[in-house]
Every structure is written in C-alpha cells, then in structure tokens.
C-alpha cells in the first residue's frame, strides 16, 4: 500500500509539474488557468460526482457509509483543534486566524481522489466524494468563521455549489431508480429508445468527469506557479503550518480512530484509510483565494499551499507506512 501511495503521488506530482512548466512557459496564461479551474469545479467535477454516485451508491451502501457525509467536516474540526494550541508557539496575533485555517483545511478532494481510486477502486472514490459534502459545508461555514468571524454571505456559495447538487442528484437517482445505475454500461440491442438516450447522457457525463483529475492537477501546478512564494528560510509560522497540517493533524486523527475502536466503535476499512488519507493531505489550493477574500494573510496562505504540497510527497507515504506497519 505504501508503494502504491508513493507511486501515485509521484505520478500526480509530475502532472502538477507539467502545469507549473506550462504556466511558466506561457502555455497556460493566468486568465486561462482561472478558466480551467472553473471548468473543473463547475463542469467536470459535478459530472464525475453524479456518475460515480449513480454507479456506486445503493441503499445498503448508503446505510453502511452514511457517516462518510460527515467525515470531511469532522476531519476539518479535528485539525482545527490541533491548530489552536500551536498558535502561541508559531504565529503572531495578526497571523492567528490564517494559521489555524491553513492547518484545518486540507486538500480533501482533488489530490486524494486518484490515490483512493488506485488503492480502493469505486469504493474509495465513493468515500472521497461523500466526504466532500461535509467538507464543503465546514469550509463555507466553520472555515469562513475561522478567517473572518462571519458566515452569512458565504452560505450563498453552498446554494450554487454544483458539486453538492450533483452529489444529491446522483444519490437520489440511484436510490429511487436502481435501474439507472446500469445506464453507463447499457447494451444497445437490449435497450429501449428512452434507455439509449439516458445511456448516451450518462456516458457523456462520464467522459467529461474523467477529465477532472488530470485537469485539476494541471490547474494546481499552474496556480502554484503563479504564487509569489519566497525561497529564503521558512518563517516560524510556516514551520508551524507544516507541522500541524502534515504531521500532527493526521496523527491525532489516527489516534482518535484507534481510541474509538478501543471503545467498540469501529470504522470500516476503506472509509478509515481514506479518512487517514484526507487528514494527511497538504493545504487546500482554495485557501489562498479564501484568505484573500476574507481578510486573511494571503502571503502565508500561498506559502502554506506551496510548501505543504511539496513536503507531502514525503509525509503522506510515511503516514501510510506507519498505518500499514502498525495495522491501524
């Protein structure tokens, strides 16, 4: 498992490097990078979510994995509690909110998604996508509160979040019309005209959704290339962000799950390991934009994204090595 994680992260990093170089060479201009990011978030990702939910969700799976809808938010809350005691040691008063925000918000979707798919197939993808619901809710409420202390305006973003709507639509369609789960693999000679039309739509969405991971990695590389990140010695606050986000937060998450198991509350294998994966991820790319929008320290956020993404190449495989060796 450790080797698989390392291989997948290395491959993803190379695609990110392609996006980095493309931005530096002018192939992906700043304007196009923004368009690419919106295309991923508003088109490709909702298509992926809808088809994955339609393909993999049924009533038994939803009953067994309902807690995955909350898992992303819980992981953010745990990381927030990790960040609070680190503030007096690593961050000044003016950086306090941004520091805690960066420790709290990991890249819960676009980086763990291909790793979860490589390790656990459709079950891993389903857990990541269901966790996105709780993480999005936490980001636009609790996360905004951390940065700015006010969430009313941010709640409007939830109503126009196409990924959440696609998640709900895919789940409802899969539960209410179980036959729809087979539309993606429908056989033309056995289908009615209506089924063929539905199959064409679902297959088109699946093709668009398959672009999500490569386009998101290219966009991440291009965005990182556009960040103004100093290359001199890292600040105390930056070291604190790296320690909290990449080391302490995943360690505390693992310890909580182990403690729950000791108390008789066990988490199924795939959701447990995917939860560890999300908890170990670097700072989310969106944190830079969020910090700038809600009066945080945008410079610290940019550095946190850049350096945590780089160092996660080492820390994520180490986390999975420890989990594998200790049987956690």
* CATH code assigned at 254: 1.20.1530
How far is the C-alpha of 245 from the C-alpha of 157, rounded, in Å?
A: 25
Looking at mean pLDDT, say which of 109-118, 298-307, 314-323 comes out highest.
314-323
Q: Band of the pLDDT at 190, cuts 50, 70, 90? A: low
Rounded to an integer, what distance in angstroms lies between the CA atom of residue 253 and that of residue 276? 7
* Residue 89 CB-density burial (10 A; 0-12 exposed, 13-18 middle, 19+ buried): exposed
pLDDT band at 240 (very low <50, low <70, confident <90, very high): very high
Asked whether the predicted pLDDT for residue 156 surpasses 70, the reply is no
Residue 221: C-alpha distances to residues 12, 67, 107, 242 (Å)? 10, 32, 14, 19
Q: In a 3-state reduction of DSSP, which class is residue 111?
A: coil
Asked if residue 119 has pLDDT above 90, the reply is no
Q: How many domains does the chain have?
A: 1
- Quick one: what percent of the chain has pLDDT higher than 70? 92
Mean pLDDT of the chain: 83
For residue 41, name the pLDDT band (cuts at 50, 70, 90).
Answer: confident
Of the ranges 87-101, 185-199, 215-229, which is most confident? 87-101
Q: Mean of the pLDDT values across residues 51-58?
A: 82
279 exposure class (CB count in 10 Å sphere: 0-12, 13-18, 19+): buried
Per-residue pLDDT, averaged over 159-174, amounts to: 83
What's the pLDDT at 327? 80
For residue 37, pLDDT over 60 is answered with yes
| Whether the predicted pLDDT of 12 surpasses 60 | yes
Is residue 252 scored above 90 in pLDDT? yes
Q: Decide if pLDDT at 152 tops 70.
A: no
pLDDT confidence of residue 247: 95
Q: How far apart are CA 196 and CA 201, in angstroms?
A: 9
Indicate if the pLDDT at residue 127 is higher than 70.
yes
Residues 6+ apart with CB under 8 A from 124: 116, 117, 270, 274
Q: How confident is the model at residue 202 (pLDDT cuts 50, 70, 90)?
A: confident
Domain span at 105: 2-326
With 0-12 / 13-18 / 19 or more C-beta atoms within 10 angstroms meaning exposed / middle / buried, residue 203 is middle
Contacts of 120 (CB under 8 A, 6+ apart): 127, 270, 273, 274
pLDDT at 29: 80
Q: pLDDT value at position 86?
A: 93
Rounded mean pLDDT of 140-148?
Answer: 81
DSSP string of 122-164?
Answer: HHHHHHHHHHHHHHHHHIIIIIHHHHHS--TTTHHHHHT-HHH
Which bin fits 73, alpha (ψ -120 to 50), beta or left (φ > 0)?
alpha
The pLDDT of residue 188 is above 80: no
Would you say residue 249 has pLDDT above 80?
Answer: yes
Residue range 138-163: mean pLDDT, rounded: 73
What's the token pair of residue 5?
């994680």
Q: DSSP 3-state assignment of 93?
A: helix
How would residue 154 be classed by pLDDT, with cut points 50, 70 and 90?
low
Length of the chain: 328
Give the model's pLDDT for residue 138. Answer: 85
Q: How far apart are CA 172 and CA 166, in angstroms?
A: 10
Structure tokens at 213: 């991971």
Helix segments in the chain, DSSP class H = 2-24, 30-39, 45-56, 59-65, 68-90, 96-104, 112-138, 144-148, 155-159, 162-176, 193-209, 212-226, 236-242, 249-262, 269-279, 286-293, 298-326
């Amino acid at each position: 498992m450790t080797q698989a994680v390392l291989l997948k992260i290395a491959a993803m990093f190379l695609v990110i490097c392609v996006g980095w170089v493309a931005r530096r060479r002018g192939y992906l201009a700043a304007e196009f990078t923004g368009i690419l990011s919106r295309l991923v978030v508003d088109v490709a990702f909702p298509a992926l979510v809808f088809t994955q939910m339609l393909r993999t969700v049924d009533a038994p799976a939803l009953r067994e994995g309902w807690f995955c809808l909350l898992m992303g938010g819980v992981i953010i809350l745990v990381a927030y509690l990790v960040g609070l005691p680190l503030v007096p040691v690593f961050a000044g008063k003016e950086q306090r909110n941004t520091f805690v925000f960066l420790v709290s918000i990991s890249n819960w979707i676009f980086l763990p998604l291909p790793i979860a798919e490589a390790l656990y197939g459709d079950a891993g993808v389903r857990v990541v996508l269901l966790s996105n619901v709780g993480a999005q809710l936490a980001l636009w409420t609790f996360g905004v509160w951390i940065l700015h202390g006010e969430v009313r305006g941010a709640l409007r973003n939830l109503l126009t979040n196409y990924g959440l709507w696609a998640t709900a639509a895919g789940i409802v369609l899969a539960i209410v019309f179980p036959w729809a789960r087979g539309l993606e693999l429908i056989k033309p000679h056995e289908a009615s005209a209506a089924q063929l039309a539905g199959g064409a739509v679902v297959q088109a969405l699946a093709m668009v959704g398959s672009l999500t991971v490569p386009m998101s990695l290219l966009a991440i590389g291009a965005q990182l290339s556009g960040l103004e990140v100093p290359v001199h010695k890292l600040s105390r606050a930056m070291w604190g962000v790296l320690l909290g986000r990449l080391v302490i937060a995943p360690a505390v998450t693992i310890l909580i799950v182990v403690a729950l198991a000791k108390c008789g509350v066990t988490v199924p294998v795939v959701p447990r390991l995917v939860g560890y994966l999300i908890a170990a991820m670097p700072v989310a790319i969106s944190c830079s934009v969020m910090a700038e929008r809600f009066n945080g320290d945008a410079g610290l956020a940019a550095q946190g994204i850049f350096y945590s993404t780089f160092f996660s190449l080492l820390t994520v495989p180490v986390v999975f090595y420890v989990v594998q060796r200790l049987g956690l």
